[in-house]
Amino acid sequence: MNWSFAVGTNLLPGLKAKIDRESKQKLNEFAKELRTFRSVDMSGRNFGDEGLFFLSESLAYNQTVEEVSFAANGITAEGIKAFDGVLQSNIVLKTLDLSGNPIGDEGIKCLCDMLADNASILKLQLNSTDLGDEGAKAIAELLKKNSSLRVLELNNNMIDYSGFTGLAGALLENNTIRNLHLNGNYGGALGANALAKGLEGNKSLRELHLHGNSIGDEGVRALMSGLSMHKGKTTLLDISNNSISARGAFYVAEYVKKSKSLLWLNLYMNDIGDEGAEKIAEALKQNRSITTIDLGGNNIHAKGVTDIAQVLKDNSVITTLELSYNPIGPDGAKALSEVLKFNGNVNTLKLGWCQIGAKGAEFIADTLKYNTTISVLDLRANGLKDEGAACLARSLKVVNEALTSLDLGFNEIRDDGAFAIAQALKANEDVAVTSLNLANNFLTKFGQSALTDARDHVYEMSEKEVNVFF
């Protein structure tokens, strides 16, 4: 669909008129959506600047729509001018998503001017909008004036140290922003240091998302210092993929020991190793707030995971434990299994790509016979093969009221493994599993057929639906 109404195209007049007619008809349908529904998703419609000028009229004085997404529509700085007068007059719109549009710094500045006096928008999404330091500074000025914004998403842009410095300054003056998303930018250690100073004087921020900013150990040291002095209640901290080593883990651990509000900690894809895992484990023994911890992809071996496992002996707060992409091996699986058999309160356990093999699966399977909390278990890509699948199948025959989702994708399981699992499902009429993933294995139509028959049998006997993927 060509949304352009510009003159001077090479189309034949009749065809041009037809396309214009179709474009306007579509835009009229979109405009009707905006006037009718509370939440409207117009992402990826490619209507461009001209289309936005047409649609923006339906937003002015609109008393219906509260959430609207104009993401990925080819909107530029020129198109943002369509909101002038609209955002100032609309008092109902709460969420505005402009992600994936090449708005750039000029467009962002224009948008910020319009939002300075807006009191309704609570969530503003500007991910992947070619936003740089100048745009970040304009947003910082907006935050100093605007007291309604709660959630600000600026992921995957080009914000560098000076942009971070501007945003940090705004945090000192703004006490209403709750969630700040800066994933995939270029903050570095200096940006983290600047942000830390802003956090010291801020009381409102609850969530800080800094995935992929190359902040390193020095950056994390400054950040933890700032968070320790932060007067608000930080509940979520994402510092994944930031080149943090065991030294950086020490600073994180010191903060975790003191925190009474943190619920969710993400250290995914760093390099803290066994030494860092030991430090985090020590901190978790003192912490009683964290419910979800992601240590995936940190080069943690059996030794490190043994330290983490010991924490779970007398911790009933942690409910989600992500350890994928760590070479913990069968010994690591054994250490976890021995503790989780009768301890902890883990509902979601992720051990994909952990090299546990069939032997590790045997330990996990034994735990499942006794554990009453694990509901979601991810064992993808562990080289379980038929032997490991058979071990798990034996445990599925035992009544386990907790396990609802089992992921065995990428495990080189063949038909014999599928037959064993199928038999287990048929043998246990009280099976709680509702999702079983065996995709990307080596099943033929015979193994697939056995699993399908087992699924149907469970439904016939108990009217329970098991979703089997292969």
What are the pLDDT digits (tens) for 220-241?
999 999 999 999 999 999 999 9
Give burial (CB, 10 Å; 0-12/13-18/19+) of 327: middle
Query: DSSP E strands: which ranges in 284-408?
Result: 292-294, 320-322, 348-350, 376-378, 405-407
Q: How confident is the model at residue 380 (pLDDT cuts 50, 70, 90)?
A: very high
Which region among 10-14, 158-162, 170-174, 410-414 has the lowest average model confidence (pLDDT)?
Answer: 10-14
Q: What pLDDT is attached to residue 120?
A: 95
Q: If you average pLDDT over every residue of the chain, what do you get? A: 94
pLDDT reported for residue 43: 96
Q: For 285-329, write each residue's pLDDT tens digit.
A: 999 999 999 999 999 999 999 999 999 999 999 999 999 999 999
Q: How far apart are CA 293 and CA 270, in angstroms?
A: 14
Q: Is the pLDDT of residue 412 over 80?
A: yes
Token pair in block for residue 51: 């289309």
Going 46 to 39 to 96 to 227, the CA torsion angle's sign is: negative
Whether the pLDDT of residue 14 is over 80: the answer is no
In this prediction the pTM is 0.94
pLDDT of residue 7: 29
In this predicted structure, what is the pLDDT of residue 428?
87
In whole angstroms, give the CA distance from residue 365 to residue 419: 17
At residue 421, the pLDDT reads: 97
Tens digits of residue pLDDT in 91-140: 999 999 999 999 999 999 999 999 998 999 999 999 999 999 999 999 99
pLDDT of residue 6: 35
In whole angstroms, give the CA distance from residue 458 to residue 451: 11
The angle formed by the CA atoms of residues 332, 303 and 382, to the nearest 5 degrees, is: 30
What per-residue confidence (pLDDT) applies to 178?
A: 98
**The pLDDT of residue 13:** 45
Pairwise CA distance, residues 50 & 427, whole Å: 62
Q: What's the pLDDT score for residue 26?
A: 87
Q: Say what percent of the chain tops pLDDT 90.
A: 89
Question: What angle do helix axes 161-173 and 133-145 make, rounded to 10 degrees?
Answer: 0
**Does the structure show a pLDDT above 50 at 181?**
yes
